[in-house]
A and B are shown apart, each in its own frame.
Chain A
C-alpha cells in the first residue's frame, strides 16, 4: 500500500507504443518459456529427473555389492578407494560421504551408464571436472544421472556443497578408457 495513493481515476488507456512493447515482451516471454522444454531434449544439457527414496544402509549395500563384483584395483593415491570397472548394462552406484566419493570408476568411452548417486550423511555436490557437470547429492534419496563419456582421460569428482572441515579433500575419480 502506497503512502500516498493516487487520487481519482488514475487509470489511463494504454498508449499504442506501450501496447507494442508489451506485446513484443509477451511474445518473447512465451518463446523463452516454450524453448525451455525443447532445449531439454535437443540441448542434452539437463539431466533427467529420475529419482527414488533410499536409506543409507540399503544404498551402501548396493555400492558394496557392485565393488565386490567389479573391483579391478585401488586408486592408490588421494583417498585410497577401490577402482571399479562396472558393466554398462548394469546400474552404477556412487556413494558420497564425509569426505569421500566411493568407489573410483573406470568407464568406457561412448557407453551409457546409469549412475546412481546418494549421500550417507548430509548434502554433497557432485561436480565432474573439468567438464563442469553439477548435481546435488541428497541423503535419503537416489538420483540417477545418465552419463555417456565422449572423451577418454582422467576426471575428478569434486564436492561443491560445503560439507564440513574436510570438504576440500573430498575428491573422487572417474577414468574414461
Chain B
C-alpha cells in the first residue's frame, strides 16, 4: 500500500485508510433535480487535490468512487481521474421525495491483489446539497419542491405543459419519452425545458393577477410568485409591478421580461443555463 503514497504520512488509521476532508476546494455535491422519483445529482470535484489531500498518487492503481446511499440502496459511480476541476452528473432512480441521497467519497484499490481495500474515504455520509428552489415554511418543514416535474405520456406532442389547479398549485408536466432520452444530459434538458416552463408559469401567474394577493402560502403558485419576486427581483404586485393589468400589451412584455431575466441569471456553478449546456456538463 505504501507504494501508492506520494509522500510519507502518519495520518492513517490501523489499516491504512486516510480521511478525505470535506472541503469545497476538493469536492461539492448537489441535488440538482427531482422528477417522479428520479434524482439528478452533481459532483463537482478536483481529483488531483483530493489525492494530494490524502497524499496518494493520482496515477496509482486506484479508483476514485462516489457511493450514493438512498433508503438502503447504494449506487456506485466511478469518477474520472483528471488533473482539473470537473463535474459529473449522476441519475439515481427510486428516490422518493422525502429521501435525501447521501454520499461517501472513496479511493479504493483497483489492483487485483488489494481489491476490497479502501485507501481513503470521507468519514461520514454527506447529504447532497439541494439547489432545487423549495421553500421551508415557517415551521421549518420542507415543502414539496416547486420544480417537481411530472412525467406524462399524454402531452400530445408537446414537451412540456403547465397547469394551474383549483387550489392554486402549479403542476409542470414533461413528456416522459423526451425526458428519459435526455435525462443523462441534464444541462441540455434544462436549456430546452426551462424557458418554456418559465414562460408558461409567468403567463399563469399574470393570468391570475387578481388572485395573487390572496394566495395561500402553502400552494406552489405562491412559491413561484416569491421565486419571481425574490430570486429574479421582478415585482408582480404593488406599485413596482412590472405588469399593468390595464394595458393589454403589458402581459406579453412582462412575460418576456421574466423569461429573459431567468435565462440571464447564473444558477448552477455560477453559469446561466446556456453557458452550462455549452460547457458540456
A and B associate in one complex: no
On B, residues with C-beta under 8 Å from A are none
Residue numbers of A with Cβ under 8 A of B are: none
